[in-house]
Every structure is written in C-alpha cells, then in structure tokens.
C-alpha cells in the first residue's frame, strides 16, 4: 500500500518526483527538523532556488537516496 508514486511539489506539476529537497525554517522549526519538498528534474532548480534564497535549503538528494537513508534510520524493524 506504499507504492503510490510521489509527485513533484511544484504548483500544477504532476510529474513523478525524483529529488527530495530537505529544508528548515529556523523561525518556526527546531534546527534538527526537516521539511521536505519533492521535485521532478524540471523543477528541482526552481524549488531549490526558492528555498536557497531564504536560507532554508539544507540538502538535495535523490528520492532513492532519501528513502534509503530513512530506511537506515533508528527503526530497525524492517
């Protein structure tokens, strides 16, 4: 039931996401908190620039890498 395709976060875009932009707004989030936006190839630059100019952008990784690192997280159950 987890095989729904993640879709790009750009407004109006229905393309499958291949990038994860991890960001944090220090005014409203604790430093270790990560919000994520998904992006297709076409919108990765646009979205990361949007976050970058505000100083929010922390990391840009492929969806594959992001999911792999989530799997490798504190939960070992599976």
Specify the residue, 15 or 36, whose C-beta has the smaller distance to Zn ion.
15
User: Which residues fall within 8 angstroms of residue 40, CB to CB, at 6 or more apart?
Assistant: 8, 10, 13, 15, 16, 17, 18, 19
Rule CB under 5 A: say whether 63 interacts with Zn ion.
Answer: no
Q: In angstroms, rounded to a whole number, what is the distance separating the alpha carbons of residues 13 and 39?
A: 9
Which of 24, 32, 43, 54 lies at the binding interface for Zn ion (CB under 5 A)? 43
Specify the residue, 9 or 59, whose C-beta has the smaller distance to Zn ion.
9
Q: Which of residues 2-21 bind Zn ion (CB under 5 A)?
A: 8, 10, 13, 15
């Amino acid at each position: 039931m987890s095989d729904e395709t993640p879709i790009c976060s750009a407004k109006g875009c229905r393309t499958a996401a291949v990038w994860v932009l991890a960001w944090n707004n220090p005014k409203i989030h604790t430093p270790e908190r990560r919000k994520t936006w998904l992006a297709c190839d076409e919108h990765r630059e646009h979205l990361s620039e949007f976050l970058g100019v505000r100083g929010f952008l922390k990391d840009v990784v492929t969806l594959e890498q992001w999911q792999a690192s989530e799997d490798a997280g504190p939960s070992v159950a599976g």
